[in-house]
Amino acid sequence: MKILFVASECVPFVKTGGLADVIGAVPKALALLGVDVHVLLPAYPALRTHAARGEIVWSTEDLFGGSAVVRAVEAEGLSLLLLEAPALYDRGGTIYLDSDGEDWPDNDLRFAALARVASEGALDGFGDWRPDIVHGHDWQAGLVPAFLRQSGRAHPKTVLTIHNIAFQGLFEPEQVAELGLDPGLFHPGGAEFYGKLGFLKAGLAFADRITTVSPTYARELLEPEFGMGLEGLMRLRRDDMIGILNGIDTEIWNPEADPDLPSGFNMRRLKAKTQSRAAVLERFALSPMDAAPLFCVISRLTRQKGLDLLLEALPALIERGARLAVLGSGDRDLEAGFKTAAESNPGQIGVVIGYDEPLAHLMQGGSDAILIPSRFEPCGLTQLYGLRYGTLPVVARTGGLADTVIDANDAALVTGSATGVQFAPVTTAALVQAIHRTCDLFAQPKTWATMQRSAMRHPVGWETSAAAYLSLYQELAG
C-alpha cells in the first residue's frame, strides 16, 4: 500500500504545532504495518540541505510563474518528497508568516502549488512511485481533491484530515482563476465559503473520506459551537468522517532516555523525576516547595487554549502555594499578561516567552501537572506527553482532551485508573475548582503516585491509530 501524505510541516524539520508532530510520526508507525508513506513538503530553507541530496523525480517549467522540481530523499526515517520552488518557499520569516508576523500575501499560491504538484504526482507518479491513496492534512492540502476531480482522469482516492478547523485558508474569489481552479467547483456545495475561496472547505467537500484527530472532536464538529461555519457540511458528510486519535512518538518522548532531562526515570523509578523538577524550578526562578504542585503550561498563547482563563485563575493557584512555569508565545495580550503575573509573583510564577523544544521536554519531565484549559482542542499532544512523563494533565473536557485523560473522580480513584483532572464547562470558576482538586490530590502522596503510574501506563503510542488509518486506506483502495 502506497500513501502520499501532503502537508505543510513535519517534525523534526519544520514545526509550528501539533500537525508537525503527527506528520513526523504516523509514517513511521504505518511503516511497521507494511505501508509505504511518502511525505510531500515544501522545500523551505530548513529543508535545503536535505533537498540538495535528493534525486529529481518530478519537474515543471511553470508553477505559478517559476520553475519547480520535486526531490526524493530519505531523512530521519522518513521518505520525503521535497517541492523546490524557490519563488514560493525560499524566504525568511516563518513558514506561514513574514518577518512582521503577517500571513505571506501569496499563501494561496504557495499552498495551491503544493496541492497541484501533489495531484499531478498522484496521477502520473513521482518518478516511478505512484500512490494508491492521497492523504492531505489541513487547509494547506485542501485543494488536492479539487485538482484531482477537475483533471477528469481516474485518480487515487483521497483522505483529508482536519487537525484544526479554525484554520480554513480563506482567500478572495478572484483567486479561483489565478490558481487554475475550475470555476465550476466554486459554489456553496464546493470550494465557496460565504463568498470566499475556502481551501479547507474544498477539501472537505471533495475528499472521499474525512478524518479528524479524536472521536470527540469528530462529534463536536457537527455543532455550531465548534464547526466554525462548516458544521452544515460536516453533517452532510458525517458518514464519511471518522475520528482517529493522535498518538505521540514514544521514542522522541521517552522519560527513560530523554537527553533533555538531568536524569531518566520510569514508573518504578519515579524519584528521579525530582531532579528534573529542581531543574525546572531553577530555570524559571521559582522558589522550591514540596507541599504543593508545580504546574506548567507549554502552549501557543491564544484564546483557543483558554489561557486568559488561567490568568484569571492565578490567585487560587498562588493561594494554594503552588508554582507555575509557562513556556509559550502568541497573542501579545496573553504574553504581556503572563509576564506581568510573573513580575508580580516572583518565585511563584515564571514565564519564558518563545519556542524552545528542549525546555518543553524538561518541563514535561520536571513538572507535577500540566494545565490545558482549551476552549476547543482537536486532539492536543501536550497532555499525551504529560501522561508519558507522569506529569498529570489538568484539562478542559473537550475534544481529544476528553478522550485521553481519565478524571480523578471517586470511581476512578477507587479502581486506581485516574490519570488526571478534567473540568467543564470551560470557565474560570471550573478551572479554579480543578486547580483546587489537583492541589488536594497532590497533598495525598500515595494517591498522586498511583495516578502518575496509571498515567505512565496509558497507551499513548501510534499502534492503535496507525491500524485505524490502515483499515481506512484498505477500505478506500478496495
With CB under 6 A as the contact rule, the residue among 45, 355, 433, 458 that binds ligand ADP is 355
Q: Map the footprint of ligand ADP across residues 377-396, applying CB under 6 A.
A: 379-382
Q: Characterize 46-77 residue by residue with b for buried, 16 or more Cβ atoms within 10 angstroms of its Cβ, and e for exposed.
A: ebeebbeebeebbeeeebbeeebbbbbbebee
Give the distance, in angstroms, between the CA of residue 33 and the centroid of all CA atoms in the same chain: 23
Number of residue whose CB is nearest ligand ADP: 18
Burial class (CB in 10 A: 0-12, 13-18, 19+), 461: middle
Report the residue number, 29 or 35, with the smaller CB distance to ligand ADP: 29
Report the residue number, 17 or 215, with the smaller CB distance to ligand ADP: 17
Give CA–CA dist 110/87, Å, rounded.
9
CB 362 to ligand ADP: min, Å: 11
Give CA–CA dist 282/260, Å, rounded.
15
Report the residue number, 285 or 429, with the smaller CB distance to ligand ADP: 285
Report the residue number, 327 or 369, with the smaller CB distance to ligand ADP: 327
Give CA–CA dist 139/202, Å, rounded.
9
Binding pattern for the stretch 274-303 against ligand ADP, x by CB under 6 A and - elsewhere: ------------------------xxx---
CB 377 to ligand ADP: min, Å: 7
Give CA–CA dist 261/438, Å, rounded.
24
Confirm or reject binding of residue 328 to ligand ADP (CB under 6 A): yes
Report the residue number, 74 or 251, with the smaller CB distance to ligand ADP: 251
CB 13 to ligand ADP: min, Å: 14
Strand order in the sheet with 369-372: 349-353, 323-330, 294-301, 369-372, 392-396, 421-423
| Grid cell at residue 472 | 481506512
Number of residues that bind ligand ADP (CB under 6 A): 18
Report the residue number, 172 or 251, with the smaller CB distance to ligand ADP: 251
| Location of C-alpha cell 453533517 | 235
Stretch that binds ligand ADP, among 71-79, 133-141, 375-383, 454-462 (CB under 6 A): 375-383
Sign of CA dihedral 137, 139, 141, 147: positive
CB 178 to ligand ADP: min, Å: 30
Confirm or reject binding of residue 430 to ligand ADP (CB under 6 A): no
CB 79 to ligand ADP: min, Å: 23
Report the residue number, 142 or 156, with the smaller CB distance to ligand ADP: 142
Confirm or reject binding of residue 360 to ligand ADP (CB under 6 A): yes
Type and span of the H or E element at 162 = strand 157-162
Q: Map the footprint of ligand ADP across residues 110-129, applying CB under 6 A.
A: none
With CB under 6 A as the contact rule, the residue among 60, 329, 417, 450 that binds ligand ADP is 329
Report the residue number, 96 or 355, with the smaller CB distance to ligand ADP: 355
Q: State the Rg of the chain over Cα.
A: 23
CB 298 to ligand ADP: min, Å: 5
Instruction: Fill in the amino acid letter for 445.
Output: P
Q: Among residues 102, 86, 106, which one has the least CA distance to residue 94?
A: 102
Report the residue number, 252 or 413, with the smaller CB distance to ligand ADP: 252
Q: Map the footprint of ligand ADP across residues 201-240, applying CB under 6 A.
A: none
Report the residue number, 385 or 473, with the smaller CB distance to ligand ADP: 385
> Between the CA of residue 136 and those of 122, 209, 212, 437, what are the distances in Å?
12, 11, 12, 41
Q: Where are the alpha helices (DSSP H) in 185-323?
A: 199-206, 215-220, 224-227, 231-236, 273-283, 307-319
Give CA–CA dist 339/330, Å, rounded.
13
Q: Map the footprint of ligand ADP across residues 2-21, applying CB under 6 A.
A: 17-18, 21
Q: Map the footprint of ligand ADP across residues 126-165, applying CB under 6 A.
A: 164
The strand pairing partners of 134, in sequence order, are 4, 158
CB 303 to ligand ADP: min, Å: 12
The strand pairing partners of 55, in sequence order, are 72
List residues binding ligand ADP (CB under 6 A). 17-18, 21, 164, 298-300, 327-329, 355-357, 360, 379-382
